[in-house]
Homo-oligomer: A and B are copies of this chain.
Amino acid sequence: MADVASPIRVTVWGEGRHEKRDATVAAHYPDGMHATIAAGIREHAGAAVTVRCTTLDDPEQGLPDAVLAETDVLTWWGHIAHDEVADELVDRVQQRVLAGMGLVVLHSGHWSKIFKRLMGTSCALRWRNGDDRELVWTVDPTHPVAAGVPSPIVIPAQEMYGEFFDIPAPDELVFVSSFTGGEVFRSGCAFRRGRGRIFYFSPGDQDYPVYHHPDVRRVIANAAVWVAGPAREVTPIAYAPTGWFE
């Protein structure tokens, strides 16, 4: 358990594959998408956080127990290698989230094993890679994750994600996006599971430089702080017998 007054320990997990094979992605993100995501969190959350990066191709897929044990908040971006993530790792991440670790799931991470595991649904959606303009509207203006960004956030070009998005009704719906094609999407969704908080935020396709967008960075930094929660006690919930109450 972290000292409450100490910085939130954020681990940015990146799949890290597109950058190695797609020239466009490498051009947008020469140090990897994860590095840009991490820089945005540092930029906006400042001394409240310490941030490190890890990727699928690192030892133990980037998340050995020792790393998870020192992680208050995990962010997750993956796309073409979801199936490579070991089920055993998904088990461990799920247990950590239920015990209190925060989780920020980004864009195509909606289709990751860990997000589907925590939601219990297919997490399917409709999509189109067609240079849509995305407008991200705030529908919960007092939510901490929406602090400091305009409504709408304007993203000039982005992949379209559209409804129906097969998730449980979020505990708090914070953002709804529209796209040039007229589609809508619940693009910012907060969930509480076990002792953990989860935030899903959809902007961020690899084919567009979305993680350089200042408002997108601000939202992700806000989310990282919000899912950390007030106490950061990592305590499993027990299935336990009990005596009579005295």
Contact = CB atoms under 8 A, between A and B. Distances in A.
Contact of A243 (B128, B140, B194, B242): B128
Interface string A183-200: 110100001111111000
Given A126-B241, A147-B230, A240-B126, A121 B194 contact: yes
Interface string A104-134: 0000000100000111111011111010010
A53 interface: no
Contact of A192 (B165, B169, B183, B242): B169
A202 interface: no
Given A120-B117, A147-B231, A164-B138, A245 B182 contact: yes
Copies of chain A in the complex: 4
A116 B120 CA distance: 8
A163 B184 contact: no
Interface stretch (A16-24, A26-34, A170-178): A170-178
Given A139-B186, A151-B163, 4 more contacts: A141-B195, A147-B230, A152-B182, A178-B178
29 contacts: A98-B122, A117-B120, A120-B120, A124-B238, A128-B243, A133-B182, A135-B182, A135-B183, A137-B163, A139-B164, A139-B165, A139-B184, A139-B186, A140-B192, A141-B164, A141-B237, A151-B164, A163-B176, A166-B237, A168-B168, A168-B191, A168-B192, A169-B172, A176-B176, A178-B178, A178-B179, A181-B244, A181-B245, A183-B242
